[in-house]
């Protein structure tokens, strides 16, 4: 009986290992951007086996179709290993619908390679262990409209960011419109200290447990990297601990009077330029 049990256990382990794989958004099968759903097996292929299946536990998933990009929509809960959007190619996009839970045993990586611009638009709940990297090596855009993103380390850009724009800066941007981003550690400057990401808070909360996040946040504000409401609002850095977190960062909407004055100043500038 023990031998039979051991044999069944080995078979189970083998099947489990066999099910884990690199699984990628459908490859180049013609011109134009490919659009599909996460839940459709035809949206994926497993190298070297081209037969499609939906990503599952243990899979390293890549939304990275090729020269013309892909757009994948995720509408139901999933649990996988690592998720990469645009490792080699730019123009790839993942949309996570409201209420959807995404559990990652590994990292969330957007913009993996040089000039490999990737986009993630999320209203769901993402949990990445240990890192969420926005602009790992290349360009990236993350938009949070609701729900949550949790990671031990939240890097924007990644430590080895090397894709640069005409200004010499990595194009790695986080747009926080709602929901929460929670991280133990958070950074907005690359490994070499010369390339930075940007973040705009137009709703929602960025929070963390490391007290020195407050000092960093103020530096990022002073450098113009961390803004609120497109730059017309102010960034509020709360270190009271009342929220249960050492640092809680939000955007503050300008008062109506300030908005009117800003609009008049902008109008005056336009009129002056026309003269």
What does the pLDDT look like over 74-105, one tens digit per residue?
999 999 999 999 988 888 999 999 999 999 99
- The domain locations on the chain are 60-274
Separation of alpha carbons 61 and 82, rounded Å: 6
Residue 73 has what pLDDT?
Answer: 97
Query: How high does pLDDT run on average in the chain?
Result: 83
- The alpha carbon of residue 273 and the mean position of all alpha carbons in its chain are separated, in whole angstroms, by 39
Give percent of the chain with pLDDT exceeding 90: 57
Helix (H), strand (E), coil (C) string for 158-189: CCCCCCCCCCCCCCEEEEEEEEEEEEEEEECE
Both tokens assigned to 42: 């035809």
pLDDT > 70? residue 254: yes
Residue 268 has what pLDDT?
Answer: 57
């Amino acid at each position: 009986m023990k031998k039979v049990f051991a044999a069944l256990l080995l078979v189970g382990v083998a099947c489990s290992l066999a099910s884990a794989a690199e699984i990628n958004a459908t490859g180049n099968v013609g011109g134009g951007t490919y659009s599909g759903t996460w839940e459709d097996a035809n949206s994926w292929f497993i190298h070297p086996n081209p037969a499609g299946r939906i990503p599952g536990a243990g899979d390293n998933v890549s939304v990275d179709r090729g020269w013309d990009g892909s757009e994948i929509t995720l509408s139901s809960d999933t649990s996988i290993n690592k998720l990469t959007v645009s490792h080699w190619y730019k123009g790839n996009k993942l949309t996570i619908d409201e209420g959807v839970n995404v559990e990652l045993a590994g990292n969330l990586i957007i913009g993996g390679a040089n000039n490999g611009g990737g986009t993630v638009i999320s209203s769901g709940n993402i949990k990445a262990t240990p890192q969420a990297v926005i602009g790992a090596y290349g360009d990236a855009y993350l938009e949070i409209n609701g729900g949550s993103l949790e990671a031990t380390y939240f890097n924007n850009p990644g430590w080895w960011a090397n894709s640069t724009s005409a200004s010499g800066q990595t194009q790695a941007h986080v747009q926080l419109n709602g929901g929460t981003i929670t991280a133990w550690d958070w950074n907005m400057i690359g490994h070499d200290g010369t390339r930075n990401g940007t973040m705009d808070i137009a709703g929602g909360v960025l929070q963390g447990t490391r007290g020195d996040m407050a000092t960093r946040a103020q530096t990022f504000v002073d450098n113009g990297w961390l803004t609120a409401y497109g730059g017309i609002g102010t960034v509020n850095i709360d270190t009271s601990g009342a929220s249960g977190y050492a640092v809680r960062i939000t955007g503050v909407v300008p008062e109506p009077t300030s908005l009117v004055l800003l609009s008049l100043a902008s109008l005056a500038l336009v009129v002056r330029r026309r003269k």
